[in-house]
Structure 1
């Protein structure tokens, strides 16, 4: 009996070798707490199939005999970083992974501003209601961001069995069809430095983030030059 210990990585060190030659990319799936922002039913019914069933159905349609090689999801996974939304997102990923024989090494996720609670004043008051204290807006925004980010980290640990990077970046490497090299990096613009009085909707990716991802993906040599 041979056994090996699986170590999960935020940035894969080895290529995931797959017979399939395509990766499914989803965005803005907006799982919520039952308030109707997610566009699909929780389960298949006579009128409409749930999102996991639709994704698996489309993957089978375009498989050409080989299963999908990977799953990429860019934000927003949830409508407003609700715990229930992340629980549904986790279930969705596990259902799709089981049906398509994907492992965590075949999945890459980049959260959006909804997932880590970067909102305008108007959005905040709509979600949380008017504050009953004189707490400054910057403090309210930062606390909301921290709570939302904690919800995302809990979700990430459930899916990948480890904590995410501090800047929530991630990287995956695929060898599709036995010959096609594909490397994917998820660079996250939802960082706390965006919150300055209000979230203006403009993403920020700093030089440090770029360098960290380049180094983690093996895109930088020992002298610090990009390759």
Structure 2
């Protein structure tokens, strides 16, 4: 039996998340130039583990004057050289603060990391990727909690490829070596598109690329559901109840960090395969707020250890994601569809996130084959179609017949429903919308103007009949910052035969990110997971607290699913 192939050096991946672009390298370089040393923390992903054997081998190689390693800025696709003195970790493999805080940049000096890399040089200037492209990857199974994912194991002995290909792998460390003499080395290009990751939908071709044609094949069976994140900037910064990347606060966690902790505590983090967001991503549709949201979405998916990020996200806009009209309000002016200017920031956010222009409705669809067994189809509807007037026509939802027909057609929900085999299983169908289909709270005192207490969609009844027509199983919403659940059994009309009636469940999450002052009854911030089984969906809502100590499960219930047409 031949001895295992050992790595010769490392490529460490990072992003400028807690700093401005380029500052991660700049700050580490400055400390190293001044002090002769700098400590680089390992911001590991959920499924990554301290590979003691591999790190010990690298430390041996670094003893004689240090070892050249590489720092990959995944966002900017830039590579920098560094010199490793030693890798440090604790015997119990638990996180710890930097052994020399004054040799660590201030923005994460107090952060606890499982591993710290002691570096004697960090080069400010970018290097060519060509030298790295000649190196090949080394499989290190102990780097992962549990079994090494097959998508990584099969890359053993394969050249690194380009920086963009490395970023797609969504890991924080690559163990690499030079090719052996006479070794036949495979290129990364040979593996692009291999490995069966998607199953083609039986539905025909679609005209709208915002609606997935294929089922996204996953190992786990959970989706993470978030709502009303309300990232806020400027004078309204405190509307968002959590710290942002780079903020030095001892009493607030970053939202994605706290969600990671909660899901990890409840042993569900690694089973999460996608993220659903039911609107109000921002507070006032500011481009800077959407920038925070993009960072958050990338990081929350990365925390689950998953790749193919865009394919794992489904979202809809909320009323806060569409800007108010700048025109003065007039009583005789008809309510109109939101202007291109009002929709611009969300549309740009969508295009950057998905690398795709949104459709005219700002709607989208996703398909998952969860656990390789449960097909799930999700339609995300825009209920903020109408232009809003601050303090006058504000918060009201409307979807529109055109959008409903377009979504059903593009998702394939209007094909073969009446003629399908009644014994054949079908996908679990979910409709996600920002505004609530039914009243969530009540008011004892009438209110003029904004209508925040009674802002169901103006065409809520049409949405309900559409849900029945297309046999939607589960409706998800946000908006009122209050959790909610009801099961409905109804037909499309009052005289519809009872055997044609349909049962579906409506669930509201409350708010994941808004501050205490904007949660009406004091309900905590919530995040939920949806676990899909053959006959039900388990909904688990978890409390998310900015100060970190409370990680209680707020609610848990099963939604029965009729898997027949």
TM bucket (normalised to shorter chain) is 0.7 to 0.9
Partner residue in 1 for 2:415: 221
Partner residue in 2 for 1:190: 384
Give the distance between the partners of 2:256 and 2:270, measured in 1 at CA: 19
Tell me which of 380, 394, 401 is aligned to 1:207. Answer: 401
Give the distance between the partners of 1:144 and 1:221, measured in 2 at CA: 31
* Structure 2 stretches lacking a partner, 5+ long: 1-189, 194-207, 420-468, 471-565
- Please give the residue correspondences for 1:58-137 in structure 2 after superposition, counting only pairs within 5 Å: 58-64=262-268, 66-100=270-304, 101-102=306-307, 103-118=309-324, 136-137=328-329
Contact persistence 1:116–1:145 (CA under 8 A): no
> SS in structure 2 opposite 1:71?
strand
Give the distance between the partners of 2:369 and 2:342, measured in 1 at CA: 35
Partner residue in 2 for 1:131: none
Partner residue in 2 for 1:130: none
Q: Cα deviations across residues 137-190 of structure 1 (Å, max 9, x unaligned)? A: 269x98995433111111111110011111111111111112112111111111
How many residues align? The count is 208
Partner residue in 2 for 1:165: 359
Partner residue in 2 for 1:32: 232
Give the structure, 1 or 2, with the largest relative contact order (CA under 8 Å, sep 6 or more).
1
Tell me which of 217, 222, 245 is aligned to 1:17. Answer: 217
CA apart distance, 1:27: 0.7
Give the distance between the partners of 2:311 and 2:210, measured in 1 at CA: 9
* Structure 1 stretches lacking a partner, 5+ long: 125-134
Give the distance between the partners of 1:215 and 1:204, measured in 2 at CA: 19
CA apart distance, 1:85: 0.6
CA apart distance, 1:42: 0.6
Give the distance between the partners of 2:223 and 2:215, measured in 1 at CA: 14
Partner residue in 1 for 2:244: 42
CA apart distance, 1:48: 2.7
Change (3 A) 1:186 1:143: closer
Contact persistence 1:60–1:67 (CA under 8 A): no
Greater Rg by CA: 2
Normalized per residue, the structure richer in helix is: 1
Give the distance between the partners of 1:61 and 1:174, measured in 2 at CA: 25
Change (3 A) 1:41 1:2: closer
Give the distance between the partners of 2:395 and 2:268, measured in 1 at CA: 40
TM-score (norm 1): 0.79
Contact persistence 2:217–2:369 (CA under 8 A): yes
Give the distance between the partners of 2:371 and 2:289, measured in 1 at CA: 34
Q: Cα deviations across residues 52-83 of structure 1 (Å, max 9, x unaligned)? A: 11222233344558431110111100011111
Whether 2:343 is the aligned partner of 1:149: answer yes
TM-score (norm 2): 0.34
Give the distance between the partners of 2:336 and 2:342, measured in 1 at CA: 10
CA apart distance, 1:198: 4.3
Contact persistence 2:338–2:388 (CA under 8 A): no
> SS in structure 1 opposite 2:303?
helix
Change (3 A) 1:84 1:194: closer
Give the distance between the partners of 2:328 and 2:393, measured in 1 at CA: 15
Give the distance between the partners of 1:222 and 1:194, measured in 2 at CA: 38
CA apart distance, 1:12: 0.8
Partner residue in 2 for 1:132: none
> SS in structure 1 opposite 2:272?
coil
> SS in structure 2 opposite 1:36?
helix
Change (3 A) 1:211 1:33: same
Contact persistence 2:322–2:343 (CA under 8 A): yes
